[in-house]
Structure 1
Amino acid sequence: MLLGAGLVAALAAWELRGHARPLVSGSAKAHALAGSVSHHGPVPGQYVPPPDVVGDALANQVGLVALAVLPAAAGIACAAALTRRLFTGRRPALGMTPRLVFAALAALSAALVTAAVAGAALGSAVTALDSLESAVQVLRTTFVGAVLATAVLGPPWRTSVPEVSADHPAPDDRAGRPRTLTHAQA
């Protein structure tokens, strides 16, 4: 799950970084008003390059990934737990339906993490429309990746209760009937 969360965080950072714009900084406006600009004076609404940490692609990418990885891991874990809870007990969760539900929930959480990171880390450097576009792209890619990962690696939950061996039978209940072990006891 951590590998998946790292990939989701890297994808979200990549998408958001692609939509980030330079910001009008307050220090540039003050600098322009102080008269240290050319003889033409300050240009209203002039865009200036972002600060170094935002302008440096590697530092920004690493920072966005670090900010997104924990919420992405929590979202994927919650998606797996909810899917397991929905499909446990009815019949074994081996079909494609639980995997598709897990992929949809994981993709939805990845899109929410992308939008939250855009608002928290980039502020007005990314417009709401660009943030939504990034979130939708992350949603689509995460859904496809989760479907492929669960098809190849299996679902991120245990699909069957381990068999009780003859050497260690299940204890009897008070009435003398054999008791079956629950998943948590096994």
Structure 2
Amino acid sequence: MIESLYHPTESFFVGIAEIRNEHNLSMKEILKLAQKNPDNIMAVQFLNSSLIAGTLHLVSAAQNALNAWLGQYAISRSLDVEIILYSSAQRQISVALDQFGLKDRLDTVALVLIGTEKKEIQTFLDRFEEQIGPFVFPPFASSKERMDSIMEHFDISVLEITALTSKSDIESRWIALSKCVASRVSLVAVDS
């Protein structure tokens, strides 16, 4: 999935995917794949996908990380690390890496790319699919266990979910949860 990120004067794009670790790559092997980027790829961040609340979660994290980076209020020294900070809704790098960073033997990994050329983002998505394994479709699928873990991690109550939807089916609740997480992600910039 490729989306445009908002910026008043420049064009930026985010590529997001959940990739099945079909080749059973280690954490070091996956991270090594992210080291060589052309100039128009600004950030490549692999994440543990277990606490990702859908693509909205990562689009929000990417937009907020880009805003912090370009607005010169970034917490870290790299856009890649800024993405993991916002994805985890943390201000401490070590905590963010512990909670959302890669670990060995993950079945799936989340990928966030930020760049200035949509075509280059697609090329990198395809390259990582070839090197790691196929894309999971739909990405970051909802399940009761996943929702419970995400709600616990981000301290989201059932009351918050029901404030956004009166429906009780899992998909409606998943969408509401994604919105709650996106809200938490946005608070990193103003949290002190």
TM-score when scaled to structure 1? Answer: 0.23
Pick the structure with more strand per residue: 2
Larger Rg: 1
